[in-house]
């Protein structure tokens, strides 16, 4: 039996190679997975031309996934450095990598990335348009913008952020409801500018059926972009954000009729007390479609530490319905992240995702923690390092300050509660001041 996309296969009861891979990874029954996919609650981004892919699922009842952003810019165009980041992200088992390149030989870098990556690959085609055509934004035609999408699809991109929700109607809502930070979405701001400069409708909205033609042909998952996401906590959950979400709701239904898989993006910077309601709002308005969030960043005062502000928001968001976390690095708002920034961002996002999986009762999520607790009870340092989320850092800290009693650490020494409880439970003397017998 033939199928066009993973969603189409799920509706027809065809267990594709990708569906079987995800079911095994998630310890989920294949028929249950296909049911969720057929309803749009789970996506498996898997472009037909991405041959290296090890498929991952995103959505309801699955482990929370994380995405790593990288790519070249005009100010930082070192392709080899970005490829080093790719290798590190793959080594650290990030489930997705988004190439946000916006300058120079973007296709050359994208092709290398897709050829080497088992992680799913995402892009934002509007970022590439100016460099792709070597034209100023105003002079790029609607047809040319659509052609960039097709080029990325041909190259093997698994999911694309398409800012189709910032149409003329949404733009009017924005104009009537001024914001402190206006738009901070790069893609959203570019399309808003294009619309104003050309006095035209957003081509991704106007020609959304053309976008669907491309995505259906190559099985590209659409990540409906959050052009109106808030760039500071003052702008969160405002009319512009909610209006765009309503538009994305309608576009998701149109995509599903064509068997095109959909994720919804949001919501940016947001105070802690608004996160749960925002997750519920998205799930309600967008028919339980997978939710892909940046952050939410829960305070605006921490440049250099936004991997932490984001992880706090991400854990809460994922515990209340978000399915996919876009990592944030310490360099957010300051510069292009370097290799260490990227590593710190991945670790922070993975901690947030795992904490949410525990809260959500995801099958097997607690096994990792139980393994760590077992190693700690035994004071088995090699095992502790082995099961750490960052073994290298854990071992480095340990070795930088060694205790007299090698079983303990320099925080407590022989007063270590674990050491002493083990001895007491075994009927042994504790011997804090003297050597053991």
The domain of 391 spans 364-400
163 belongs to an annotated ligand binding site: yes
- What CATH number did the domain enclosing 153 receive? 3.20.20.540
80 belongs to an annotated ligand binding site: no
58-59/42-43 β-pairing: antiparallel
1 domain residue, yes or no: no
60 domain residue, yes or no: yes
54 belongs to an annotated ligand binding site: no
112 domain residue, yes or no: yes
The answer, yes or no, to whether residue 329 has pLDDT greater than 80, is yes
139 and 27 belong to one structural domain: yes
What pLDDT does residue 321 have? 97
What pLDDT does residue 342 have? 96
Stretch 323-349: mean pLDDT: 96
Confidence of residue 437 (pLDDT cuts 50, 70, 90): low
Contact of 133 with 104, CB cutoff 8 Å: no
69 belongs to an annotated ligand binding site: yes
What pLDDT does residue 79 have? 83
Supply the mean pLDDT for the chain: 95
Nearest CA to 416 out of 387, 382, 383, 376 is that of: 376
Stretch 310-328: mean pLDDT: 98
265 belongs to an annotated ligand binding site: yes
Residue with tokens 């120079």: 104
Percentage of the chain beyond pLDDT 90 is: 90
368 and 424 belong to one structural domain: no
227 belongs to an annotated ligand binding site: yes
Could you say which of 340, 359, 378 is where a domain stops? 359
Q: Coil, strand or helix: which one is 330?
A: coil
Q: How many independent structural domains does the chain possess?
A: 3
Contact of 217 with 254, CB cutoff 8 Å: no
The rounded distance, in Å, linking the Cα atoms of 396 and 406 is 15
What pLDDT does residue 436 have? 66
At a CB cut-off of 8 Å and minimum separation 6, what does 297 contact?
268, 269, 270, 306, 309, 310, 313, 328, 332
At a CB cut-off of 8 Å and minimum separation 6, what does 104 contact?
72, 74, 77, 131
Question: 269 or 101: which carries more pLDDT confidence?
Answer: 269
Confidence of residue 1 (pLDDT cuts 50, 70, 90): confident
Structure tokens at 81: 């450095």
326 belongs to an annotated ligand binding site: no
166 and 277 belong to one structural domain: yes
- 170-216 pLDDT, tens digit per residue, is 999 999 999 999 999 999 999 999 999 999 999 999 999 999 999 99
For residue 230, the 8-state DSSP code is: B
At a CB cut-off of 8 Å and minimum separation 6, what does 136 contact?
130
109 domain residue, yes or no: yes
What pLDDT does residue 105 have? 74
- 100-128 pLDDT, tens digit per residue, is 988 777 888 999 999 999 999 999 999 99
97 and 158 belong to one structural domain: yes
187 belongs to an annotated ligand binding site: yes
424 and 318 belong to one structural domain: no
Stretch 306-330: mean pLDDT: 98
10 domain residue, yes or no: yes
The answer, yes or no, to whether residue 71 has pLDDT greater than 70, is yes
148 and 211 belong to one structural domain: yes
218 belongs to an annotated ligand binding site: no
98 belongs to an annotated ligand binding site: yes
Residue with tokens 């989920």: 28
8 belongs to an annotated ligand binding site: no
12 and 108 belong to one structural domain: yes
The answer, yes or no, to whether residue 76 has pLDDT greater than 80, is no
28 domain residue, yes or no: yes
Burial (0-12, 13-18, 19+ Cβ within 10 Å), 25:
middle
The answer, yes or no, to whether residue 435 has pLDDT greater than 80, is no
Helix, strand, coil share (%) of the chain residues, nearest 5: 50, 10, 40
110 belongs to an annotated ligand binding site: no
The answer, yes or no, to whether residue 309 has pLDDT greater than 70, is yes
- 145-178 pLDDT, tens digit per residue, is 999 999 999 999 999 999 999 999 999 999 999 9
422 and 277 belong to one structural domain: no
226 belongs to an annotated ligand binding site: yes
88 domain residue, yes or no: yes
Stretch 419-437: mean pLDDT: 86
């Amino acid at each position: 039996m033939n199928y066009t996309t993973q969603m189409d296969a799920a509706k027809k009861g065809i267990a594709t190679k990708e569906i079987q891979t995800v079911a095994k990874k998630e310890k989920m029954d294949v028929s249950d997975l296909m049911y969720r996919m057929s309803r749009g609650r789970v996506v498996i981004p898997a472009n037909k031309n991405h041959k290296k892919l090890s498929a991952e699922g995103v959505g309801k009842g699955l482990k929370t996934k994380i995405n790593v952003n990288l790519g070249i810019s005009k100010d930082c165009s070192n392709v080899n450095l970005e490829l080093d980041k790719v290798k590190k992200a793959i080594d650290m088992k990030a489930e997705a990598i988004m190439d946000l390149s916006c300058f120079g030989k973007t296709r050359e870098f994208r092709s290398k990335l897709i050829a080497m990556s088992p992680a799913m690959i995402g892009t934002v085609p509007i970022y590439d348009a100016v460099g792709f055509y070597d034209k100023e934004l105003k002079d790029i035609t609607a047809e040319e913008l659509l052609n960039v999408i097709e080029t990325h699809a041909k190259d093997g991109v698994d999911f694309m952020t398409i800012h189709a929700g910032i149409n003329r109607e949404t733009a009017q809502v924005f104009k009537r409801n001024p914001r402190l930070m206006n738009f901070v979405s790069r893609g959203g701001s570019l399309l808003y500018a294009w619309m104003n400069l050309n006095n035209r409708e957003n081509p991704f909205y106007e020609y959304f059926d053309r976008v669907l033609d491309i995505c259906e042909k190559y099985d590209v998952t659409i990540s409906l972009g959050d052009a109106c996401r808030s760039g500071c906590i003052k702008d969160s959950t405002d009319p512009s954000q909610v209006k765009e979400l309503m538009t994305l709701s309608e576009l998701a239904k149109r995509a599903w009729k064509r068997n095109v898989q959909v994720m919804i993006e949001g919501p940016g910077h947001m105070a802690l007390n608004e996160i749960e309601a925002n997750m519920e709002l998205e799930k309600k308005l967008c028919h339980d479609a997978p939710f892909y969030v940046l952050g939410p960043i829960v305070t605006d005062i921490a440049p250099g530490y936004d991997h932490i502000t984001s992880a706090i928001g991400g854990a809460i968001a994922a515990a209340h319905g978000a399915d996919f976390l876009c990592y944030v690095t310490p360099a957010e708002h300051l510069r292009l992240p370097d290799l260490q920034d990227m590593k710190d961002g991945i670790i922070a996002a993975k901690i947030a995702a795992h904490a949410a999986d525990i809260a959500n009762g995801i099958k097997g999520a607690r096994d990792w923690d139980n393994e760590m607790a077992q190693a700690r009870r035994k004071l088995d340092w090699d095992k502790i390092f082995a099961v750490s989320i960052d073994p290298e850092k854990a071992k480095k800290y340990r070795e930088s300050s060694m205790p007299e009693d090698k079983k303990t650490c320099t925080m407590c020494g022989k007063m270590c509660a674990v050491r002493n409880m083990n001895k007491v439970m075994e009927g042994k003397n504790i011997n804090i001041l003297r050597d053991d017998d």
